[in-house]
Structure 1
Amino acid sequence: MRTSNPALSDKAFQTDAPASGKVMTINGTVNKTGMLLSLCIFVAAVSWDKAFTAAEQTGSAAALFPWMIGSSIAGLIIALITVFKKTAAPITAPLYAIVEGVFIGIISAFFEMSYPGIVFQAATLTFGVLFALLLAYRSGLIKATENFKLGIAAATGGIFLVYLASMVLGFFGISMPLIHDSGVIGIGFSLFVVVIAALNLVLDFDFIENGAAQGAPKYLEWYAAFGLLVTLIWLYIEILRLLSKLRSR
C-alpha cells in the first residue's frame, strides 16, 4: 500500500493487533473522523466569531494574526508527533483538530472579509468533493492502482517542494512569480493543486480500507481519522485560494 499523505505512510499499519482482539474497523474510523471534524468545526466557529468581533471593535482583525501563525505552527508540531508516535493518536488527533480549528477559523474570517460568501462556497465544495470521491471509490469508478498512487505521490511531493521554495524565498522578500497571482497560470496552478489534494482522499480511502482488512490495532482508527483530517484541511485551504483568485479577477 502507498499513499502520498505523510500521516498515512506505508508503515502506518505494520504493527501486530493487540491480544485483546480490538482491531481497527472502517466504521470506527468513520466515527472518529466525524468526531475530529465536529471538534475542528466547533473551534473554527468560535475563532471565526472572535475575528469578526475584533474587526468590529477595532476595525481590523490583525490582532489575531499571531494566533493564526501560532496555531499553524502548533498544528505542525502535533502532526509530527502523531506521525512518529502513532500510539499517541487518541490524544494528539483531538489536539490537532483543536489547534487547526483556531487556524481555520481565523484564516477563513480573513478571506470572508475580503470576499464575502467565499467560505460557504469553499466549505460546500470541500464536502461535496469528499462525498463525490467516496461514492466514486466505493462504486469502483476510481481505483487506487499502483500507477495511480505513484502519480499522486509524485505530484504531491512536487507541490510540497514548490510551496517550500516559495516560503524560503519569502523570508528574503522574494515572491515566486505567477503561481500566487490571479492570472491564468496562477489559477491553473491552484486548480491543479485542488485536484491533487482531492485525489489524495482516494488514496486515503484505499489505505484505511486495507488497514481495516489487515486487522490493525484499534488506536489506529484515531491515526487514520487524523490523516483524513489533514487532507481535508489542505483541500479546503486550496479551494479557498482558488476561489479568491477567481474572485479577484
Structure 2
Amino acid sequence: MSFNSKNPFLNNKTFSTAVSKNEQVHQATAIDYNQEMTLSGTINKSLILFLLLTASATVIWWLTFNGINPLVPAIGGAVVGLVLVLIAAFKPQYSPYLAPGYALFEGLFIGGISAIFEAMYPGIVIQAVGATFVTFMVCLGLYKYKIVKVTEQFKSVVVAATLAIATYYLISWVFSMFTSFVPVHYGNSMMSIGISIFVIVIASLNLFLDFDRIEKGAEQKMPKYMEWYGAMGLMITLVWLYIEFLRLLSKLNSKS
C-alpha cells in the first residue's frame, strides 16, 4: 500500500489523475512544455501565496490594534478558506483561482488569531513566525541534501500519526461542545505541552511529504495548474505548523 502526504492537496490520487490527463496527448500534437509543472514554478507560486497571506494578515493585525474585533474576520476567513480548500480538493484545475483566494482569506484568520495571542502574550507572534521559518528551512535543507529520505515506511508513519491527531482533535472538539469534558491538550500542563510538541513534530514531518510530492509532480510533468495546487497544499501545512507553535508558546508563556 502506497502512502503519500495526508495533506488533501498532495495526495496520490489527485496527482495521479493529473498525470493521466497530461499524458492524453496525441503523438502528433506539439507539446508546449511551458504548460507543464516545474519545481521553480511551484516555488514562485508558493512565494506569491505567502505574500498574499502576509498582506491580508497585516491588514487585520493593523485593524485589530485600532479597535476592530478580530474574531469576526478570523472566523469568516477560516470558514471561507475551508470552503476553497474543499473545492480545490475536488477541482484542482481551478487552483490558479482558488489558491490566491485561499491565501487572502486564510490571512484574515491568521491575522486575527495572531492579534489575539499577541494581546495576551506580547512578542509571541514573532517567536512563532521565527520558529516556523527555521523549521521550514531545516526541513527543506534535510530534504534537499537527502539527509532525510522519504521512504514508504516514512510516509506510512507520518500519515498514520497525522490521521491520529486529526481524529483526536475532532473527537475532543465534539465532546467539549456537548459535554463538560476538557481535552488533555487544553491548559498548560506538562501533558498538554508534550502533546503540542508531538503535533509540531508531525506537522514538520508532513513538510517532507509535501516536498516529495511537489518534486515528483514536476518530474512527472503534470499540468501547469498543479503548481498552484502544490503551493496551496504546502501553505496549508505551514499554517498548521504556525498555529501549533502559537499554541505551544502560549502554554509556555502562561506557566511563567
Residue 180 of structure 1 and its aligned partner are, at CA, apart by 1.2
Alignment map for 1:67-78 (pairs within 5 Å): 67-78=73-84
**Contact map agreement 2:6 2:159 (CA 8 A) in 1:** yes
Q: What is the SS of the residue equivalent to 2:37? A: coil
Residue aligning to 2:32: 20
Instruction: Kindly indicate whether the alpha-carbon contact (under 8 Å) linking 2:70 and 2:116 is maintained by their aligned counterparts in 1.
Output: no
Q: 1:170, 1:95 → 2: CA distance?
A: 31
With normalisation by structure 2, the TM-score equals: 0.91
Aligned-CA RMSD value = 1.2
Structure 2 residue matching 1:141: 3-state secondary structure? coil
AA matched with 1:4: K
Contact 2:196/2:244 (<8 A) preserved = yes
Listed as ranges, the gaps of 5+ residues in structure 1 are 55-60
Q: Does 1:40 align with 2:26?
A: no
Where does residue 129 of structure 1 map in the other structure?
135
What's the counterpart of residue 57 of structure 1? none
- Indicate whether 1:241 and 2:247 are aligned: yes
1:170 is displaced (CA, Å) by 2.8
| Residue 66 (structure 2) aligns with | 53
Alpha-carbon distance in structure 2 between the residues aligned to 1:103 and 1:225:
19
Contact 2:176 2:183 in 1 (8 A): no
Q: Identity over the aligned pairs, expressed in percent? A: 45
The equivalent position to 1:207 in structure 2, one of 202, 213, 217, is 213
What is the DSSP-based 3-state SS (H/G/I as helix, E as strand, rest coil) of the residue aligned with 1:217?
A: coil
Letter in 1 for 2:46: T
Q: Which residue of 1 aligns with 2:42?
A: 29
Aligned to 1:58: none
1:5 aligns with 7
Contact 2:161/2:202 (CA < 8 Å) preserved in 1? Answer: yes
Please give the secondary structure, in 2, of the residue aligned with 1:137: helix
Q: Which of the numbers 61, 73, 90 marks the counterpart of 2:96? A: 90
Whole-Å separation in 1 of the counterparts to 2:97 and 2:235: 15
Contact 1:71 1:103 in 2 (8 A): yes
2:170 aligned partner: 164
Contact 2:139–2:208, Cα closer than 8 Å, also in 1: yes
The one-letter code of the counterpart of 1:49 is: W
Cα distance in 1 for partners of 2:218, 2:99 equals: 19
Counterpart Cα distance in 1 of 2:209 and 2:183: 31
Counterparts in 2 of 1:141-160, with a 5 A limit? 141-160=147-166
Q: Separation in 1 of the partners of 2:184 and 2:175?
A: 14
AA paired with 2:15? F
- Please say if residues 181 and 245 of structure 1, whose CA atoms lie closer than 8 Å, have aligned partners that are also in contact: yes
1:4 touches 1:149 (CA, 8 Å); kept in 2? Answer: no
Give the C-alpha shift of residue 173 in structure 1. 4.7
Query: Could you report, residue by residue, the CA deviation over 1:129-183 in whole angstroms, capped at 9, with x for unpaired residues?
Result: 1111000001111111101101000010011011111221232153433211201
- TM-score scaled by length of structure 1: 0.94
Letter in 2 for 1:38: L
Distance 1:177 1:226 in 2: 30
Shift of 1:64: 2.9
> Any unmatched runs of 5+ in structure 2?
26-30
Aligned residues: 242
| More displaced 10-residue stretch of structure 1: 120-129 or 172-181 | 172-181
Residue 4 of structure 1 and its aligned partner are, at CA, apart by: 1.5
